[in-house]
Amino acid sequence: MLTMPIPEYLQEILDNVHDNTSGEVADYIPELKAADPNPLAVALCTVDGHIYSAGDDSVEFTMQSISKPFAYALALQECGTEEVFKTVAVEPSGEAFNELSLDGENRPMNPMINAGAIAINQLINGPDSTVEDRVEKLRAYFSELAGRELTIDRGLSDSELTGADRNLSIAHMLRNYDVIADDAHDAVLSYTLQCSIKVTARDLAVMTATLAAGGVHPITGKTLLDARVCRLTLSVMASAGMYNEAGQWLSSVGIPAKSGVAGGLIGILPGQLGIATFSPRLNPKGNSVRGVEIFKQLSEDMGLHLMSTEQVSGHAVRSITQDGDTTYIRMQGAMNFSASEAFLHAIVSHEFSGDTVILDLSRVLTFHPVATRMIKEGLKRIRDAGYSVAILDPDDVLPDFTFSDGTLCRQLS
């Protein structure tokens, strides 16, 4: 059986950032201040439900602000866009996450800052909901997205509530302007419990993949959100997900994202995949230092920048057929990360027979550099498993035929 190179690649990325111990864990919540700063994890989940991860991928941590886009999506799904827009705007604020601010119509600027998130939390489960019912609705919904029962870290929320003066002032401000109707203490309790739902990097990757896939859960295939809700959520994440670092983030990494003060970071590439990292030390803007580094590398290596103008492909593996002792793998379209992942996934799940494998690129249009590396790596692994491999490339779309070990792949004319 062949092995999948993506986890090895993810491990390499973790090795590259491992020694960067700059930044500080969040210190305004006592339990977070005492947290282990060392865990490091990365996880990906494609819209087809293939999950890859490396590092401390099963260590649990609290979602904190990463809960905001998911709560926003649920509010949009439950109440509709119009009502949600009446309560919270969609403009980047350029301010710190806990700024006391409203726009000209007395609405929080966006759902990614605390003012917006506290207001969004209050929309869940109707105006008459108790705090416990509202939080249970969120917990159950997040669990469905993650594909397992998530729990709440009540020790953490108690610890946060001992010093929640800032969020209480925000809630009082919201109540003063009739943005929320609940008692300020209940509003902050409800929001803080939402922030204290525990996840792993793998959970977050699966949760984000539903947003990437227009609301269809990558593993159960259930439709959990409307595609328009996902689009709107991703748009707000793109413009305001990284607080006052949002502009710089969009330029350098180029994917909708959200960070949390416990050290989690999620990113979503529409139509392709969800990504999550975990590393608790934060930069002065409140974003995970090593998480940001990992995302920069992934975006660069995997061609994930949303503003890049390359075509997105689908159904990249046209067919795998057998003719005597020869297996033909026919690829089609633009070869990007998803296309190469589909190729690798197809070959590791295929039972090869005979003695020769031919990769047919006659219907392939373009090769992103990541696809050149990944597809050649897959071919090399087939060769190393004992097959004679060759590439049919009548239009010369593959830039070179050299494997990572310096040997040359046979080309058919």
Question: Which parts of this chain interact with ligand GLU (CB under 6 A)?
Answer: 64-65, 97-98, 114, 160, 167, 192, 195, 260-261, 286
Nearer CB in complex with ligand GLU: 204/409: 204
Report the 10 Å Cβ neighbour count for 411: 12
Nearer CB in complex with ligand GLU: 153/160: 160
Determine whether the annotation assigns residue 160 to a binding site: yes
Q: How far is the CB of 353 from ligand GLU (least distance, A)?
A: 52
Determine whether the annotation assigns residue 243 to a binding site: yes
The amino acid that residue 87 corresponds to is: T
Nearer CB in complex with ligand GLU: 32/398: 32
Nearest to 114, CA basis, from 103, 126, 100, 104: 100
Q: How far is the CB of 148 from ligand GLU (least distance, A)?
A: 22
Nearer CB in complex with ligand GLU: 123/195: 195
The backbone region for 125, taken as left when phi is positive above 0, alpha when psi lies in -120 to 50, beta otherwise, is: left
Dist CA 237 CA 259 (whole Å): 10
Q: How far is the CB of 109 from ligand GLU (least distance, A)?
A: 15
Placement of tokens 């006592």 in the chain: 30
Dist CA 370 CA 378 (whole Å): 12
- Beta bridge partners, 198, equal 62
Dist CA 242 CA 398 (whole Å): 37
Structure tokens at 109: 């600027």
Helix (H) or strand (E) holding 222: none
Q: How far is the CB of 304 from ligand GLU (least distance, A)?
A: 23
Q: How far is the CB of 116 from ligand GLU (least distance, A)?
A: 11
Nearer CB in complex with ligand GLU: 99/160: 160
Nearer CB in complex with ligand GLU: 112/294: 112
Q: CA dihedral defined by 134, 138, 141, 147, rounded to 10 degrees?
A: -140
- Beta bridge partners, 322, equal 327
Structure tokens at 136: 């249970």
Dist CA 134 CA 181 (whole Å): 14
The amino acid that residue 130 corresponds to is: T
Structure tokens at 316: 């990249």
Determine whether the annotation assigns residue 261 to a binding site: yes
Structure tokens at 220: 């159960």
Longest CA–CA span in the chain (Å) reads 77
Dist CA 114 CA 99 (whole Å): 8
Dist CA 50 CA 342 (whole Å): 10
Determine whether the annotation assigns residue 252 to a binding site: no
- Beta bridge partners, 378, equal none
Nearer CB in complex with ligand GLU: 87/327: 87
Structure tokens at 174: 């919201």
Q: How far is the CB of 156 from ligand GLU (least distance, A)?
A: 9
Nearest to 281, CA basis, from 292, 266, 296: 292
Nearer CB in complex with ligand GLU: 124/375: 124
Is 208:59 a contact under the CB 8 Å cutoff? no
Nearer CB in complex with ligand GLU: 284/324: 284
68-98 in b/e burial notation, b at 16+ Cβ within 10 A? Answer: bbbbbbbbbbbbeeeebeebbbbebbebebe
Q: How far is the CB of 166 from ligand GLU (least distance, A)?
A: 7
Binding-site members for substrate are 65, 114, 160, 167, 191, 243, 261
Q: Which residues are annotated as a binding site?
A: 65, 114, 160, 167, 191, 243, 261
